[in-house]
């Protein structure tokens, strides 16, 4: 590819548009996506040329690919749900693990002696969140800044656990997907993900 001049605001914005499109396609690529065909479509549209594919063909092909992507997503979600259930079943057998009626599991890493918050309280915490494969998706420790929030304003697994913790405690939570982000997932958290958190309750505000 020839060298592109990116020294002006206009060219940098143009490049940014391409980057955004590329990021979207990289993160959620349609099956068999063709960069050459994408560039041909962009070039033709920008030049005002007629489409090389008629609308009926285009709609039919979009439908086929959409159905393939939906089937792949459903298969991944089913696999993730199964892996999560298996993980929790095995984890429950470990010494030191408490399993609550909701399905939430925890182990006490450090026992604090401070006050327990209510659902209406604000708390200050440090936390480190991973998927069951160890992938980190969020960490106040890595940011170097504790987080403050209402006990009732977080995922259900956290709300339940925080009300059982004394300030000064540090617990490891194993949160079933239905007490976290469920079938939707969020950000880098896939649907049906069991989440693992180290949570340190620093203070009840």
pLDDT tens, residue by residue, 70-110: 999 889 888 889 999 999 999 999 999 999 999 999 999 99
Going residue by residue through the chain, which has 205 residues, state the pLDDT in tens, using 9 for 90 and above. 568 899 999 999 999 999 999 999 888 888 888 999 999 999 999 999 999 999 999 999 999 999 999 999 889 888 889 999 999 999 999 999 999 999 999 999 999 999 999 999 999 999 999 999 999 999 999 999 999 999 999 999 999 999 999 999 999 999 999 999 999 889 889 999 999 999 999 999 9
> What range defines the domain where residue 139 resides?
84-204
Same domain? For 60 and 99 the reply is no
Rounded Cα gap, residues 82 and 192, in angstroms = 9
User: Per the structure block, which two tokens stand in for 51?
Assistant: 């489409």
- Number of domains, the chain: 2
Would residue 1 count as lying in a domain?
Answer: no
Q: Which of 58, 82, 106 marks a domain boundary?
A: 82
Same domain? For 99 and 57 the reply is no
Task: Characterise 144 by phi-psi region: left (phi > 0), alpha (psi -120 to 50), beta (else).
Answer: left
Same domain? For 64 and 117 the reply is no
**What pLDDT shows up at residue 2?**
66
Q: Which of 48, 66, 82 marks a domain boundary?
A: 82
- For the annotated catalytic residues, the residue numbers are 127, 137-138, 155, 181, 197
**What pLDDT shows up at residue 94?**
98
**Whole-prediction pTM:** 0.74
Same domain? For 88 and 69 the reply is no
Same domain? For 33 and 94 the reply is no
Nearest CA to 91 out of 75, 73, 103, 79 is that of: 103
- For β-strands 170-175 and 122-131, DSSP reports them as unpaired
Q: Phi then psi for 197, rounded to 5 degrees?
A: -125, 135
**In terms of residues, how long is the chain?**
205
**What pLDDT shows up at residue 154?**
97
């Amino acid at each position: 590819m020839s060298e592109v001049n990116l020294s002006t605001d206009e060219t940098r914005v143009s490049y940014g548009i391409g980057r955004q499109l590329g990021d979207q396609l990289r993160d959620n690529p349609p099956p068999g996506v063709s960069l050459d065909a994408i560039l041909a479509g962009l070039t033709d549209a920008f030049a005002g040329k007629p489409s090389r594919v008629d609308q009926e063909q285009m709609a039919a092909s979009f439908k086929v690919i959409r159905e393939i992507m939906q089937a792949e997503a459903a298969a991944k979600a089913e696999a993730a749900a199964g892996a999560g259930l298996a993980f929790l079943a095995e984890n429950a057998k470990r010494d030191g693990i408490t399993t609550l009626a909701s399905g939430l599991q925890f182990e006490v890493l450090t026992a604090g002696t401070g006050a327990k918050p209510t659902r209406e309280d604000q708390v200050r915490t440090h936390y480190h969140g991973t998927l069951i494969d160890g992938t980190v998706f969020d960490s106040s420790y890595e940011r170097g800044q504790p987080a403050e929030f209402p006990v009732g304003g977080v995922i259900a697994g956290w709300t339940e656990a925080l009300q059982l913790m004394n300030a000064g405690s540090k617990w490891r939570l194993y949160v079933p997907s239905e007490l976290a982000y469920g079938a939707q997932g969020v950000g880098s958290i896939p649907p049906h993900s069991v989440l693992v958190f180290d949570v340190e309750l620093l203070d009840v505000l």
